[in-house]
Amino acid sequence: ASSCNASNNNNNNNNNNNNKTGVISRTHNNIAAAAAAAGSSSGEARHRSSPVEQPVATGAAAIASISTPAYTAIASPSTSAASGSCPTVGTPPPPAAAAGAASTVTAGTGEADEEPFTLLPPPAEAGEAAAAVAARPGAAPEEHPVPQGWEVRVDQFGRKYYVDHLTRSTTWERPKMLPVGWEMRRDPRGRVYYVDHNTKTTTWQRPTVENIRQFEQWQGERQQVAALSTQRFLYPNANNTTDYENDPLGPLPSGWEKRQDSGRVYYVNHRNRTTQWDDPRTQGMIVEEEPLPAGWEMRFTEDGRAYFVDHNTRATTFSDPRTGKPSVVVGPGGRCGSGSYAAITYERSFRWKLGQFRYLCHSNAVSGHIKITVSRSTMFEDSYHQVMRLPAYELRRKLFIIFRGEEGLDYGGVAREWFFQLSHEVLNPMYCLFEYANKSNYSLQINPASEVNPDHLAYFKFIGRFIAMALYHGKFIYSGFTMPFYKRMLNKKLTMKDLESIDPVFYNSLCWIRDNNIEECALEMFFCTDFEVLGKISEVELKSDGKNIQVTEENKEEYINLMMQWRLTRGQESQTHNFLEGFSEVVPLEWLKYFDERELELLLCGMQEIDINDWQKNTIYRHYNRNSKIIAWFWQFVREIDNERRARLLQFVTGTCRVPVDGFAELMGSNGPQRFCIEKVGKDTWLPRSHTCFNRLDLPPYKSYEQLVEKLTFAIEETEGFGQE
């Protein structure tokens, strides 16, 4: 207070001169100093004062200094300006939170008996006084009106700020008028909200033209995405289609269309309502014409250029071993110039191909889910009717499987159980749809005698859909097919080596014909053969009028090739056609072109052998640790049982006895990869429990190894079905 008085005394003469001439004093009042002088009322003053105090004047000058329409600080008539005030040094604070209502503020003067300033509504002044206000620098210039409930004020530096009397807050930014059709209201608790009479909606956020424009744009994009999601495949308008009249590869296959998105070419298959990046005219183009030499494989770079892997020497090359010519770029954006590609490593393998396939599945996914309710006793028929009555694209939705009479909720484990058990049913040779390849090969092939069932073709279409669903949803099936069957799915040419795995005796017979002079042996053979189905023998001509064309040394290669093709496909054409038709409705066969037949088997069946070390390495524990006695007993039990019982134990916990290609680290749970888990739960009298959706085994703390073996054996051998805790 003493320093303020000293300052006031030094400026006393100037203040008196200003009062005589009617000019408002430029001396500023510091809010903090005023609060200190007021003592206990300082808190009240800070809360209710305007953001920046106005200059002090007396008499007529004080009235003339009122700036319309702002509230103004007016001194009491008895207050003398000569008392002065302590000037404020520096920049005033930004607008504070309280403004609008009339309030009392203590001025920052040095006198203890000063009367306070009072915030009063502006009087209705007019004439010369109003003109004088408009001419002063501190007055607010006339602009377009502010929204209802707002007020414009000017601080002592001539800066405008805005007062919102509804929320009792201030801001430096000029408020914008509400858009057309909007209204501001207040709820019973005093909270401000906004009503859009155009859409009959409300919001807490103050609307602006920019916000509304962005919302309408977002809403339009959302509606567009929703409309596209019902089409099951994404592509722009028809005017974006590319012209391929001058395309050197010629026209696209029937039902295909070439389009562009952001300059990148992709292809639409209207038959199964899917999209892909790869040109269907080039996928597998060379493979279908002539098989690669033994031990060779064709793969593709990320740019779509084909290269060739020699597994015999573990080398790679861009040159086709069949023609010696370099491969061409078949994908979008590829470059053919020398040195355009980095060296290709031998490790480009199944993981990369699997990633490409999963990307295609994800990009063509359909939102929502479908429920399939089956009974364990009639699983085949229940599944057949429910899968076949749905449009094929619906089968790409998330699955929710329900077993009648069971309480289990499907977070992935029930679906794995359904795929595994149903595949065991539909592929069972007892139904006469499939048969084992031979007595020593338990891989499955189509049974030529399947026509004994009058509905066999419809069943094969259903099985094709079911196998594609397993592939699409990343589930495993019970048993696999023969290698020639996988090659037919990939549209690859069949060879003599394929016949060896199916019928070794027949293969050896053809090899003998190839390696010996049949004319010297006086063998009389013709381009025809006999075929027996269900006791009925029929004659089959290998070529037109084949029964009258004798096999000679000159044409025996043709005979061997035709006989090999017939043996691998005999009596299976219509069944294979229906199977592939059902399969391609869910998963287009073009998506599988990157895989070879062995990789396709891994994709469907997983790993056959169980690596115990990998299993143990990728197991986590809860309330146990690696050194716990129970955990040591568990792994001892796993190592002592045979592979079949290990598979049943794995199925008990995960819902499937198959291991992912990358091992136990890639076990899938309800929300992605989920490692095998053993948790300490219950008492030693309890049986083990499993949570197939989370790959978790609840293992009680048994008192002896013999008790653990007894309980685990009973659990994996004698239990079936799902329940809830």
- Alpha carbon of 512 to those of 185, 549, 567, 666: distances in Å? 96, 20, 16, 47
**Of the options 3.20.20.70, 3.40.50.300, 3.90.1750.10, 3.30.365.10, the CATH number for the domain spanning 349-605:** 3.90.1750.10
Question: Omega into 69 within 30° of 0, i.e. cis?
Answer: yes
Q: Decide: 117 and 31 in contact? Cβ < 8 Å.
A: no
Instruction: Tell me which residue has tokens 């080039």.
Output: 282
Overall average pLDDT of the 480-497 stretch: 88
Q: Is 345 exposed, middle or buried (0-12, 13-18, 19+ CB in 10 A)?
A: exposed
State the pLDDT confidence band at 443, using cuts at 50, 70 and 90: confident
User: What would you report as the CA-atom Rg of the chain, rounded to the nearest whole angstrom?
Assistant: 43
Q: How far apart are the C-alpha atoms of 419 and 465, rounded to whole Å? A: 12
CB-facing half-sphere around the CA of 223: CA atoms within 13 A: 6
Q: How far apart are the C-alpha atoms of 157 and 304, rounded to whole Å? A: 68
Angle between helices 12-21 and 2-10 (to 10 degrees): 60
Q: Decide: 636 and 686 in contact? Cβ < 8 Å.
A: no
Domains 238-276 and 612-718 share a fold: no
Q: Decide: 581 and 459 in contact? Cβ < 8 Å.
A: no
Q: Decide: 29 and 88 in contact? Cβ < 8 Å.
A: yes
Q: Is 79 exposed, middle or buried (0-12, 13-18, 19+ CB in 10 A)?
A: buried
Domain boundaries, the chain: 2-139, 238-276, 285-348, 349-605, 612-718
Instruction: Tell me which residue has tokens 């484990």.
Output: 413
Q: How far apart are the C-alpha atoms of 140 and 149, rounded to whole Å? A: 17
Is 693 catalytic? The answer is yes
The residue among 497, 505, 504, 557 whose CA lies nearest residue 527 is 557
What's residue 247's pLDDT? 64
Q: Kind of pairing, strands 182-186 and 169-171? A: unpaired
Choice among 4, 86, 657, 693 that is catalytic: 693
Tokens of 338: 């020398």
Residue-wise pLDDT for 553-601, tens only, equals: 888 899 999 999 898 888 888 999 999 999 999 999 989 888 888 788 8
Fold for the domain defined by 285-348: Ubiquitin Ligase Nedd4; Chain: W; (2.20.70)
Superfamily of domain 612-718: Hect, E3 ligase catalytic domain (3.30.2410.10)
Residue-wise pLDDT for 715-725, tens only, equals: 877 665 444 44
Length of the chain: 725
Instruction: Tell me which residue has tokens 């869910």.
Output: 586
- Identify residue 688 by its one-letter amino acid code: P
Calculate what percentage of the chain has a pLDDT beyond 70: 65
Q: Decide: 658 and 646 in contact? Cβ < 8 Å.
A: no
Mean pLDDT of the chain: 72
Q: Please give the CATH architecture assigned to the domain spanning 238-276.
A: Single Sheet (2.20)
Strand partners, 163: 151, 170
Q: Which residue has the higher pLDDT, 515 or 335?
A: 515
Residue-wise pLDDT for 128-174, tens only, equals: 434 443 444 444 445 667 777 888 999 988 888 889 887 788 888 88
Q: How far apart are the C-alpha atoms of 13 and 22, rounded to whole Å? A: 15
DSSP states along 468-491? HHHHHTT---SS-B-HHHHHHHTT
Q: Is the model's pLDDT at 227 over the cut of 60?
A: no
What's residue 189's pLDDT? 78
The DSSP call for residue 607 is B
- The H or E element containing residue 632 is helix 629-640
Biggest alpha carbon distance in the chain?
143
Q: How far apart are the C-alpha atoms of 245 and 233, rounded to whole Å? A: 25
DSSP states along 395-448? GGSEEEEEETT-----SSHHHHHHHHHHHHHHT-GGGSSEEEEETTEEEEEE-G
- The H or E element containing residue 300 is strand 296-300
Task: Give the three-state DSSP class for 306.
Answer: strand
What's residue 218's pLDDT? 67
- The H or E element containing residue 556 is helix 556-569
Task: Give the three-state DSSP class for 557.
Answer: helix
pTM, whole model, 2 decimals? Answer: 0.46
What's residue 716's pLDDT? 79
